[in-house]
Chains A and B, each alone.
Chain A
């Protein structure tokens, strides 16, 4: 990491850990919980969509699969919450692997179509498998998260989730600067070009897809134990679109893009809680504007702007 980046990261980590601890308000903490879950979720989507440039539309489905895996194991099989939580990313990783095998052999739009289909199948099955998922009414009776008989308070589970989000950000930052990260970005620009310098595009994309699934699985598991009630609608087509919107707005393929995206979604959730009807209208309009006029997203546009300014100040270069 560059020096500046390390400072920003430490500052962000301190803010994330301290802010809810200092504030006595339960509400603030719950907002931070949802912010951190969104960071985990979007960091995962950023790996396949931002770095690898593959339009995955199964992410809400994966998120749901994680949430329902944890929820069903805890409710129907009465597994200890920790085991249920760990099972969520494992289940999603397996499904991502099996789905990725055939669908990542498809090029361009076709991968998006396959993941769209898979996401819809998952969402519709959540609603249809009534005897195990609770159907459209949702899965109820999820226990609070506990470890060795000690039930976690909201602040305690928040700290776990926040540390997880920070750890995830660090991992992805390292990944993006590793050989794999460069290879992923190379193939997102040109798969043929990447293949011509000896990059095994299929294997890399598959790894990226599984990694993104692991993140979605953890996010789902945390969501389950945080809200203790899940319904299929949280994992429908529109949430997938929202996640893609957030990545595009924040800036795909950048380190801080998912954090900005998560921040935007959280702020939009809270500000528009009174007028939930306006949320799709406003987010959709901003999204169109960004796609049409600023394809680099917020981080990318800022970066271009800074680079241009630097060029002006430094005419020698």
Chain B
């Protein structure tokens, strides 16, 4: 193996981790809403798109500094979370996991259409958070944005752990995910926990979007495929399993990047979904599950 080849491998791994970090955040968003509602929130990919579009337009149109753009993206996430929960759960006559899932699909279609009309199909760019001078590691170049994205994933893991373990809101979300009836009997407001999980998922999504936009341009159309890939990661990690989702996002990013670099860049988009099918057929409860989960859904 010569040095050039080693450098290519390192480069491909860096690229995979950068995009994988985004999949991780999306996947963890799917898991959090799944914990709260047992529904699959198809808005998750659109949160990424909103994050990218809001951060990008705040930067390009209003010339705001990068941290302010990030704050705006996070704020848009809170708003998007509140709206999605209100429409898909609160307005539903008899909320059920499948009903909520189907409603989020409809809402995603509507939101995409609104952004398409509002932005006139424009694509948005956003600068790397701290410049783009690469850090030399041997012969390979590491972009600062890669470090940022990985840092965000680590920070998300730490903060989410603290949140779910030590705050009242986090504990009640976990309790109602575990046993909704008992939690309700203990005085937990399920409506509040569901709303909190939507907000959390949406903010993670918009932050993911803002950290993706420095790598690739974002438009109204970018969310769906990202969301579906993040969903594949969530299933790979086991739906509802936070750490599984975080790890699987990075795995999917890496596999995709290696596939694109060494096999075929045309088929790289297919990889995430091939992984999804493989996991569902072989181990549907996810890679971190202890037992086979064929009847996981039936309990």
Residue ranges of A at the interface with B (Cβ–Cβ < 8 Å): 55, 102-103, 105-110, 112-114, 116-118, 120-121, 124-125, 128-130, 237-238, 241, 244-245, 248, 277-281, 283-285, 287-288, 291-293, 295
Which B residue sits closest to A114, measured CB to CB? B280
Instruction: Collect the chain A residues with CB atoms within 8 Å of residue B224's CB.
Output: 237-238
Cβ–Cβ contact B298 & A291, under 8 A: no
Which A residue sits closest to B100, measured CB to CB? A291
Expressed in whole angstroms, the minimum distance between the Cβ of B2 and any Cβ of chain A is: 31
Cβ–Cβ contact B103 & A288, under 8 A: yes
A-B contact pairs, 27 of them (CB 8 A): A55-B98, A102-B281, A109-B101, A110-B284, A110-B296, A118-B277, A120-B273, A125-B267, A125-B270, A128-B264, A128-B269, A241-B109, A244-B102, A244-B105, A248-B102, A277-B113, A280-B116, A281-B110, A281-B117, A284-B109, A284-B110, A284-B113, A288-B87, A288-B88, A288-B107, A288-B110, A292-B92
Residue ranges of B at the interface with A (Cβ–Cβ < 8 Å): 40, 87-88, 91-94, 97-99, 101-103, 105-107, 109-110, 112-114, 116-117, 224-225, 228, 231-232, 235, 264, 266-267, 269-270, 273-274, 276-277, 280-281, 284, 294-298
Instruction: Collect the chain B residues with CB atoms within 8 Å of residue A293's CB.
Output: 93
What is the CA–CA distance of A284 and B267 in the complex, to the nearest angstrom? 31
Expressed in whole angstroms, the minimum distance between the Cβ of B23 and any Cβ of chain A is: 15
Cβ–Cβ contact A109 & B297, under 8 A: yes
Which A residue sits closest to B285, measured CB to CB? A110
17 additional A-B pairs beyond A109-B98, A116-B276, beta carbons within 8 Å, are A105-B294, A109-B97, A114-B277, A130-B266, A237-B225, A248-B102, A277-B113, A280-B110, A284-B107, A287-B109, A288-B88, A288-B103, A288-B110, A291-B102, A291-B103, A292-B88, A295-B99
Expressed in whole angstroms, the minimum distance between the Cβ of B53 and any Cβ of chain A is: 16
Instruction: Collect the chain A residues with CB atoms within 8 Å of residue B113's CB.
Output: 277-281, 284
Cβ–Cβ contact B280 & A117, under 8 A: yes
| Most B-side CB within 10 Å, residue of A117, A124, A125 | A117
Cβ–Cβ contact A109 & B91, under 8 A: no
Known: A277-B116, A288-B87. A117 touches B232 (CB 8 A): yes
| Most B-side CB within 10 Å, residue of A55, A105, A116 | A116
Cβ–Cβ contact B281 & A103, under 8 A: yes
Instruction: Collect the chain B residues with CB atoms within 8 Å of residue A124's CB.
Output: 267, 269-270, 273
What is the CA–CA distance of A108 and B269 in the complex, to the nearest angstrom? 26
Instruction: Collect the chain A residues with CB atoms within 8 Å of residue B295's CB.
Output: 107
Chain B at the A interface: mostly helix, strand, loop or mixed? helix
Choose among B93, B228, B231, B277 the residue that contacts A295 (Cβ–Cβ < 8 A). Answer: B93
Which A residue sits closest to B94, measured CB to CB? A295
Instruction: Collect the chain A residues with CB atoms within 8 Å of residue B91's CB.
Output: 292
Known: A55-B98, A277-B116, A284-B110. A113 touches B280 (CB 8 A): yes
What is the CA–CA distance of A238 and B110 in the complex, to the nearest angstrom? 11
Cβ–Cβ contact A117 & B103, under 8 A: no
Q: What 9 A-B pairs are tightest by C-beta distance, nearest first? A: A284-B109, A281-B113, A284-B110, A117-B276, A280-B113, A108-B297, A288-B106, A128-B266, A287-B106
Cβ–Cβ contact A241 & B105, under 8 A: yes
Expressed in whole angstroms, the minimum distance between the Cβ of A11 and any Cβ of chain B is: 33
Instruction: Collect the chain A residues with CB atoms within 8 Å of residue B264's CB.
Output: 128
Instruction: Collect the chain B residues with CB atoms within 8 Å of residue A284's CB.
Output: 106-107, 109-110, 113
Instruction: Collect the chain B residues with CB atoms within 8 Å of residue A125's CB.
Output: 267, 270
What is the CA–CA distance of A114 and B97 in the complex, to the nearest angstrom? 18
Expressed in whole angstroms, the minimum distance between the Cβ of B43 and any Cβ of chain A is: 12
What is the CA–CA distance of A277 and B274 in the complex, to the nearest angstrom? 32
Expressed in whole angstroms, the minimum distance between the Cβ of B287 and any Cβ of chain A is: 15
What is the CA–CA distance of A281 and B115 in the complex, to the nearest angstrom? 10
Instruction: Collect the chain B residues with CB atoms within 8 Å of residue A278's CB.
Output: 113, 117
Known: A106-B280, A124-B270, A128-B270. A285 touches B99 (CB 8 A): no
Cβ–Cβ contact B99 & A291, under 8 A: yes
Cβ–Cβ contact A109 & B40, under 8 A: yes
Choose among A55, A113, A129 the residue that contacts B235 (Cβ–Cβ < 8 A). Answer: A113
